[in-house]
Copies of this chain bind each other. A is one copy, B any other.
């Protein structure tokens, strides 16, 4: 795969790559989609190169799919990473020997790379990754147990998480991440898991209600010992509306 790309490097933008941070939520767990190349000690974000005939937004979808088999995920660009030495130590001549690539062709890989970060938040039970390369493992890993990553991938991951947390202040969240009918405590847990902190119950109820995207159902959660909590669903139309204008019309 990498060998193919290097040998046909004229079909890819030089010195530019894409890395994807795919967050997965389910049942109060936040995970990240990571890849490990068998021979490597470290894990990495799913990343790759930009075909010269693809817009970068399209290339991000291509890259994610080609490394993890994942498709149908809405990827958002969040930042571009371009410190001079960010990939200097990772790709050295050894990889060319390993891939059996001649030095002249291999120069394409050994140069400085700037990488564009894309991220998404999905339900990790609904997105089943597949390793697309025989010598790679793709896994959902709890975001609190992320192992050592290659290059500056930890920095990219942290920045994506910052962006996701910041977006909680701008956009509604939860659609496609919770069951169709859910309780306020379940929704609160989603926010708490992403923010990694406890929220005040009453404050949360007041704020989330004020947004006006919830419909209170005429049902209570069953299987609950006593004082069964109310069930809610998202009012899809209002949810979409708020997605468009943002939470804070602010001023």
- Could you tell me which A residues sit within 8 Å of B by CB distance? 13-16, 50, 52-57, 59, 77, 79-84, 112, 114, 116, 166, 168-170, 191, 195, 199, 204, 207, 246, 248, 250-251
Q: How many angstroms between the C-alpha atoms of A77 and B82 in the bound complex?
A: 11
Given A13-B15, A80-B80, the answer on whether A169 and B55 have CB atoms closer than 8 Å is no
Task: Pick from B53, B54, B114, B195: contact of A56, CB below 8 A.
Answer: B114
Given contacts A13-B114, A15-B16, A55-B82, 13 further A-B pairs with CB under 8 A are: A13-B15, A13-B112, A14-B14, A15-B15, A52-B112, A56-B83, A80-B80, A80-B116, A166-B246, A169-B169, A169-B246, A169-B250, A204-B251
Q: How many angstroms between the C-alpha atoms of A59 and B166 in the bound complex?
A: 27
Q: How many angstroms between the C-alpha atoms of A71 and B52 in the bound complex?
A: 34
Mostly helix, strand, loop or mixed at chain A's interface?
mixed
Task: Pick from B13, B52, B251: contact of A168, CB below 8 A.
Answer: B251
In the bound complex, do residue B168 and residue A250 qualify as a contact, i.e. CB atoms below 8 Å apart? yes
Residues of chain B within 8 A of A116, CB atoms compared: 80, 82, 114
Given A13-B112, A112-B13, the answer on whether A248 and B80 have CB atoms closer than 8 Å is no
Residues of chain B within 8 A of A246, CB atoms compared: 166, 169
Residues of chain B within 8 A of A55, CB atoms compared: 82-84
Shortest CB-to-CB span from A133 to chain B, Å, is 25
Closest 7 CB pairs of A and B: A56-B82, A169-B250, A169-B248, A80-B80, A14-B14, A55-B83, A13-B15
Q: How many angstroms between the C-alpha atoms of A82 and B57 in the bound complex?
A: 8
Q: How many angstroms between the C-alpha atoms of A250 and B54 in the bound complex?
A: 38
Shortest CB-to-CB span from A54 to chain B, Å, is 7
In the bound complex, do residue A248 and residue B248 qualify as a contact, i.e. CB atoms below 8 Å apart? yes
Q: List 16 A-B contacts (CB under 8 A).
A: A13-B112, A14-B14, A16-B16, A52-B84, A56-B81, A59-B82, A77-B80, A114-B116, A168-B251, A169-B169, A169-B170, A169-B246, A169-B251, A195-B251, A199-B251, A207-B251
Q: How many angstroms between the C-alpha atoms of A95 and B81 in the bound complex?
A: 31
In the bound complex, do residue B251 and residue A191 qualify as a contact, i.e. CB atoms below 8 Å apart? yes
Shortest CB-to-CB span from A184 to chain B, Å, is 13
Residues of chain B within 8 A of A52, CB atoms compared: 84, 112
Residues of chain B within 8 A of A83, CB atoms compared: 55-56
Shortest CB-to-CB span from A151 to chain B, Å, is 15
